[in-house]
């Protein structure tokens, strides 16, 4: 049967390998544009998705600090942004890393009590990136580059990696449905935070939030209150 390239980026068939490598496919442009808007990468379509946007970095720092509460080497935004930029952490790698951390929360919470949030950020993103994009590059070379980004020697990175893999029982495979679930959660969190911060929501923010049941129900209730109330109401929407 003929392959429908439009389905490549559908969550039912998407393999979330580096979508930046699929630039020759029709679905790539739409996928990249969607990610750029929803994850706040800016309006420049030529800028690469090889780091984390500011709102994504904020979420990563908050989640990592909660997951690994040790006060030693506590993760800060400046460090996370530096590593993300130097190691070229993609949005896909971050989503996969968050899935790994969630697995650890359920399967090996003791590990999360022992590792610092800075080290957890580094190693979870590195393992996710290697799983997604590894093309047979020598292990020492790959780990050395990440060590340089985090200002750690390669031996330390190697140890962190092995400890992480053992803690998660080498369970790195993720179903696309799980990936898109986390992506949706991150998109919704960003849309809500940015809208509340500004005091108004963009059209893209509203599109993202209306995909969530609780937001649909809340806005539906507001709509009925405004337009079916015996007392006239005034509604101002900023788009």
At how many degrees (to 10) do helices 77-86 and 117-133 cross?
A: 20
Q: Which stretches of 39-116 are DSSP H helices?
A: 54-67, 77-86, 91-107, 109-114
Residue 163: CB partners within 8 Å, gap ≥ 6? 111, 115, 123
In this predicted structure, what is the pLDDT of residue 149?
92
CATH superfamily of 45-174: Cyclin-like (1.10.472.10)
pLDDT in tens, 147-190: 999 999 999 999 999 999 999 999 999 998 999 999 999 999 99
Q: What is the DSSP letter of 8?
A: G
How far apart CA 187 and CA 239 sit, in angstroms, is 18
pLDDT: is 113 or 230 the higher one? 113
Q: Parse the chain into domains and list their residue ranges.
A: 45-174, 177-226
Q: What is the largest CA-CA distance in the chain?
A: 71
Report pTM.
0.79
In this predicted structure, what is the pLDDT of residue 167?
97
In this predicted structure, what is the pLDDT of residue 85?
92
DSSP of 16-34? -S-GGGGTTSHHHHHHHHH
In this predicted structure, what is the pLDDT of residue 43?
64
pLDDT: is 174 or 224 the higher one? 174
Please provide the size of the chain in residues: 239
pLDDT: is 138 or 121 the higher one? 121
pLDDT at 6 over 50: no
């Amino acid at each position: 049967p003929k392959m429908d390239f439009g389905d490549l980026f559908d969550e039912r068939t998407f393999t979330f390998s580096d979508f930046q490598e699929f630039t020759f496919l029709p679905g790539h442009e739409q996928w990249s544009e969607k990610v750029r808007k929803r994850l706040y990468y800016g309006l420049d379509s030529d800028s690469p998705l090889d780091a984390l946007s500011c709102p994504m970095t904020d979420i990563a720092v908050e989640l990592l600090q909660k997951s690994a509460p040790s006060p030693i080497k506590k993760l800060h935004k400046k460090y996370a942004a530096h590593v993300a930029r130097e190691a070229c952490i993609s949005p896909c790698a971050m989503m996969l890393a968050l899935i790994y951390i969630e697995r650890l929360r359920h399967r090996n919470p003791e590990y999360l009590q022992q590792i610092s949030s800075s080290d957890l950020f580094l190693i979870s993103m590195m393992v996710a990136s290697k799983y997604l994009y590894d093309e047979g590059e020598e292990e020492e070379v790959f780990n050395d580059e990440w060590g340089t980004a985090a200002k750690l020697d390669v031996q330390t990175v190697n140890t962190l990696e092995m400890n992480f893999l053992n803690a998660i029982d080498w369970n790195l495979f993720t179903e696309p449905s799980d990936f898109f679930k986390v992506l949706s959660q991150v998109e919704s969190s960003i849309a809500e935070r940015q809208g509340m911060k500004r005091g108004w929501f963009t059209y893209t923010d509203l599109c993202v939030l209306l995909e969530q049941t609780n937001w649909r129900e809340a806005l539906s209730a507001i709509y009925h209150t405004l337009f079916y109330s015996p007392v006239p109401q005034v509604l101002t929407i900023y788009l």
